[in-house]
Amino acid sequence: MNLLAQTTSTTTTTGVTFPTLVLTAMVWSAVVFALAAILMPNQTQDQLRRIKSLGSTGAGAALFFAIWAVETQASEALAGTGTTAAGVPGGDLHEQHGWLTSFPITSTYHLDADALALAVILMVSVVFFCASLAAWHNQRHVKLLTVCMLTLETASLGVFASYDWVLFLFFWTLAIAPVYVLVRAFGPGHRGRAATRYAATSLVSAGLLLLAAVLIAFQAGSHTFDMGSTPVTLPGDGETVAFWLVTAASLLAMAVVPLHGALLDLEEDSSGVLSAIFAAVLPTLGAYTLIHVAVGFFPTTSGSYSLFFATLAVVTVVWAGLAALRTDDLRRLIGYMGTVLMGLVLLGVAGHTTIAVTGIMYLLLARGLVVAVLMLLASLIQERSRRVHISQLGGLAWQAPFLSVFWLLATLAAAGVPLLAGFAGDFFIFTGSFPAHRWATTVVLAGTLLASGVLVWTAQRIFFGASRDTFARVRDLGPLELTYLGVLAALIVLIGVVPGHFGVLFQNGAGYILFPGPAG
Amino acid sequence: MSAPNGMAVFATMLPTLLLLVLAAVAGLLGWLRPGLPPSFHRWLGAEALVGAGAAALVAFHGVALTNGVGLAAYAAAVIADHFGTFAVLLLCATGLVAVLTSGAVQERLGSRLPAYHALVLTATAGGTVLAVQAEMGMLIVGLGIVVISLVGIVAVEKTAEAPGLAAFRSLVSAGVALALMLYGLAIVYGATGTTDLAAVRGQFVHSAPLEGLGLALTLLGLAYLVGAPPLHHWMLQVSAASTGAVAGAVVSLAVAAGGIALVRVMVSGFSATMHPWVVLAGVLGAAACLYPALLSVVAGSVRRLIGLGACLQGGLLLSALVGSGLGADGQSAGGVMAMLFALVVFVLAIQASFQAVGRLEADGIGGNMVGVRGLARRSPMTAALLSLGLAGLAGLPPLAGFLARILIASSAVAGGYAWVAVASVAASAIYAVTVLRWIAAAYVEDDELPVVAPAVPQLAGLVGAACAVFGVVATLVAGPLLYAADGAAFFLR
């Protein structure tokens, strides 16, 4: 009956008090532009251009608010100011309003963001903005692509910013329909099968998460769907059951071996822009859920199963690394590289130290950017050369030097070369996990090197060697392509050069995830 | 509750009387003055339904609820309380949608349009009896009025063979369901010696198998109305054979009335704490969710898909029953609240879906996969409404069906029936994948067929769109809607 019960954090500026709405603006701005796009006519080229502009503006608006949120927190973390430690929920970004307060289990419109969420929010909003620019040349289903992409962005950002189970599940499930429709619309080959497989997998994940949410809400005795209070303590086997439900759902979405088939199909059977989004964003939803919920809610239980995560990390990295070595399909190769990097995330979870979890945040940020660049480049290569298989390519650096530079940059970042974004994540994860799992860390390191070697070898096969007449008319990157790839590449370099900008923020967040509560 | 008196009778039966009188007026005017324009009958029906809703609000709240609990009449056979207000308002809203969208079938019904309106009013009146009844006799009377009116609505489309056949089959199914329920109630009466549903609770011997059989038969009879298997075939036949507007009216009114009867009989009457029927409701609910969901995978037409979706909603309502008692910790499990919230959302989602089917008919587009392909280009509004309707039935966000499923699963787990929650979630997931296939076909695939000009009447189109949009709005106003459901469920718990 407590309909009007609500709490709202406020920001005070020069004596004026107003509610903090940065996360609300960030989450919903994309879908507001999607609604505007729905109402636009789409008959003439001018009208289609306006719809595309709306798409880029919507993604740009979300990016603006994402940068605002991240930079505010990162600056506060560096300066040591703010209402609470930056990177920990309950600070300046906290928003909470009454929603389903009459039901025996109450649910609120609760948005917040810890350091992990901020890391992936930054990555996702940048990827969507660049993807909206990359989609500018598309002439098929323009309105559908714009609306679905913006809806998917809102869904993804909503998952990361939700601190209420109902809201979290709402956004999680909201992502399914646009992905399904996009794959059906733009995918070549077995698109129907890929879309159905993905939708079924995601709905199973959502179902598992729903059961976990209900279990937690009842067994914790709080009768609330709020996700703000961690760690969660449940009587009997409840904690273990809830932990495994969340873990299973997360692993399904992360697409780690042996559950990687659906996502790889999706990446292979989608167009270039969509492959970039799917490869960068969708597994991140799972990784975020694994760390934020499975580890953050149940730090003790997750710590006790660290051997499981270490084993899974080894299997994932070795399997995906060997598969990458065997494959001749460019997109599938990048998909396997993404899976290898997810294996590193699992190793970080197994490490269960602040350093390892800090490394996961860096890695998720870098992984999304790198995989997005590689997927976008792969689609540009395929579009220009009309070739799908790596063995059919060669000598492209002569015709497309910028393209090869970007590819090499992304390859080196994926390999974890210093001064690029991938280094900090790899370094912290290996350092943080080595004391607990020496053998696993060594094998995963070897597997990562193998996959990185495959990527470098692939670069050599695609770009170097003698110039081929077949590809004489392949053109290099244009201004628009240089712009969006430049944005992604600049961020990869920037994070690599000044990783310390996020250092305190991520350490605060990692500490809170592993040691939650007031002290965290 | 106070003793029976004239005021109590007036207050509890006012909406029913109003609807029956105006149904008679509508029928007589249609017979005696056939020249009256269709819009006159439409607005007469609409005013009757709005009046009945207002009467429920004023009479129940202003007169009957002065004691804060409710008012009984006819030796406690009928009760006016918060739940009654909620239920009557839902029924009137459902009937109102049916009346306002009748323009879509105006040509087909011809001179039988007044009869159609009159039957919608009598079906709603029967539903209002179910909303206020608390005794076996009144239950049967209410069910009888609803069932006969709904069969009549289907039969009134007698220009085509298929609706006539569907009406006949519905009548046979209804007869079976009513017979099952009568046997069940007779057994319960024989065991307890009372026809008062509230008094049954105190007389019941939980371990007696015969009494369990009585409850099971009663539940099966009620499951007929909400379209839950095994007595769901009538709903599929009506969905397949009748026009969109008629099927929408019949199915949504049946689900609304059936859901209300389920709450009155099983929760308010027999009480949710009585075993073994809670387990039985769980088994029936789980099966009623999974069976139509699995069938939907091979559905060859939109009509069948929607019909199966309506059956799925019936199964979900039955699943909500298992959480209608007390949770393991002694607190209310919220099943009734979840059920009432879901009932509102489901009924309007069913209406929205069938209104989209009506638009397909008006546009001359077939309801199979070939017809739906490229619908977004050929008829954008129809595609949007169909997508919203189907997504509402599937419980995809941002439609409120998603919230309803979370509430139902939560209350099932709270009631100690996690397996029912698993079944309902799994069924919803299967149905959602199927629905996504159809939505994608409308927006993605295209056979380059010509664009069609919208032909559906403006009012019917607007009301259909409002039903579809309600699915989104209900998510935003879920708090107030749950608050109202809480008020309605409070005295039933």
Q: What is the 3-state secondary structure (H, E, C) of A212-241?
A: HHHHHHHHCCCCECECCCCCCCCCCCHHHH
Nearest by CB to B414, from A104, A170, A184: name it: A104
The residue with tokens 């628009």 is: A480
Whether residue A134 is predicted with pLDDT greater than 90 in this model: the reply is: yes
User: What is the per-residue pLDDT across A470-482, written as a single tens digit (0 to 9) for each?
Assistant: 888 888 899 999 9
Q: How far apart, in whole angstroms, are the C-alpha atoms of residue A393 and residue A384?
A: 11
Whether residue B493 is predicted with pLDDT greater than 70 in this model: the reply is: no
CB neighbours of residue A57 within 10 Å? 18
Of A261-275, A420-434, B3-17, the one with minimum mean pLDDT is B3-17
Q: Does A185 touch chain B (CB under 8 A)?
A: yes
State whether A144 and B444 contact (CB < 8 Å): yes
Q: Does B432 touch chain A (CB under 8 A)?
A: yes
State whether B444 and A169 contact (CB < 8 Å): no
Of A81-95, A96-110, A347-361, B20-34, the one with minimum mean pLDDT is A81-95
State whether A173 and B485 contact (CB < 8 Å): no
Whether residue B73 is predicted with pLDDT greater than 80 in this model: the reply is: no
A99: three-class secondary structure by DSSP? strand
Structure tokens that stand for A203 in this block: 């709905």
Helix (H) or strand (E) holding A17: strand A16-19
The residue with tokens 């559908």 is: A144
Which B residues 109-138 touch A at CB under 8 Å?
none
Split at pLDDT 50, 70, 90, the class of A3 is very low
Q: Which residues contact A170 (CB under 8 A, 6 or more apart)?
A: A158, A162, B397, B398, B402, B403
CB neighbours of residue B183 within 10 Å? 16
Q: Please report the pLDDT score of residue B486 as a whole number.
A: 85
Compute and round to an integer the Cα radius of gyration of chain A. 22
State whether A104 and B337 contact (CB < 8 Å): yes
Mean pLDDT of chain A: 89
| Contact pairs from chain A to chain B, CB under 8 Å | 125
Q: How far apart, in whole angstroms, are the C-alpha atoms of residue A433 and residue A441?
A: 7
- Highest mean pLDDT pick, A168-182, B367-381, B403-417: A168-182
Domains in chain B: boundaries: 273-493
Q: Please report the pLDDT score of residue A12 as a whole number.
A: 45
Q: How far apart, in whole angstroms, are the C-alpha atoms of residue A116 and residue A108?
A: 22
- What is the mean predicted confidence (pLDDT) over A171-200? 87
User: What is the per-residue pLDDT across B135-163, written as a single tens digit (0 to 9) for each?
Assistant: 888 899 999 999 999 989 988 886 666 77
Nearest by CB to A98, from B333, B376, B479: name it: B479
Split at pLDDT 50, 70, 90, the class of B105 is confident
User: What is the per-residue pLDDT across B241-284, written as a single tens digit (0 to 9) for each?
Assistant: 888 999 999 999 999 999 999 988 887 777 655 666 778 888 98
Split at pLDDT 50, 70, 90, the class of A81 is low
CB neighbours of residue A477 within 10 Å? 20
User: What is the per-residue pLDDT across A213-244, written as a single tens digit (0 to 9) for each?
Assistant: 998 988 877 788 999 887 888 888 889 999 99
Q: Which residues of chain A neighbour B400 with C-beta distances below 8 Å?
A: none
Give the gap in angstroms from C-alpha A177 to the nearest C-alpha of chain B. 7
Q: How far apart, in whole angstroms, are the C-alpha atoms of residue B493 and residue B489?
A: 6
Split at pLDDT 50, 70, 90, the class of B2 is very low
Percent of chain A with pLDDT over 90: 65
Q: Please report the pLDDT score of residue B66 as a whole number.
A: 57
Structure tokens that stand for B59 in this block: 């009479």
Q: How far apart, in whole angstroms, are the C-alpha atoms of residue A259 and residue A245?
A: 15
State whether A104 and B328 contact (CB < 8 Å): no
Percent of chain B with pLDDT over 70: 88
Domains in chain A: boundaries: 305-520
- What is the mean predicted confidence (pLDDT) over A166-194? 88
User: What is the per-residue pLDDT across A309-342, written as a single tens digit (0 to 9) for each?
Assistant: 999 999 999 999 999 999 998 888 999 999 999 9
Q: How far apart, in whole angstroms, are the C-alpha atoms of residue B4 and residue B183?
A: 29
Q: Does B429 touch chain A (CB under 8 A)?
A: yes
- What is the mean predicted confidence (pLDDT) over B295-303? 92
Q: Please report the pLDDT score of residue B62 as a whole number.
A: 64
Q: Which residues of chain A neighbour B398 with C-beta distances below 8 Å?
A: 170, 174
User: What is the per-residue pLDDT across A369-419, written as a single tens digit (0 to 9) for each?
Assistant: 999 999 999 999 988 888 878 888 888 888 899 999 999 999 999 999 999
Q: Which residues contact B454 (CB under 8 A, 6 or more apart)?
A: B359, B362, B363, B379, B381, B382, B461
Residues B98, B355, B253, CA angle at the centre, nearest 5°? 40
Q: Please report the pLDDT score of residue B327 as a whole number.
A: 44
Split at pLDDT 50, 70, 90, the class of A89 is confident
Structure tokens that stand for B377 in this block: 């280009």
- What is the mean predicted confidence (pLDDT) over B408-424? 89
The residue with tokens 């309902």 is: B424
| CA atoms within 13 Å, Cβ hemisphere of A436 | 24
- Highest mean pLDDT pick, A279-283, A388-392, B188-192: A279-283
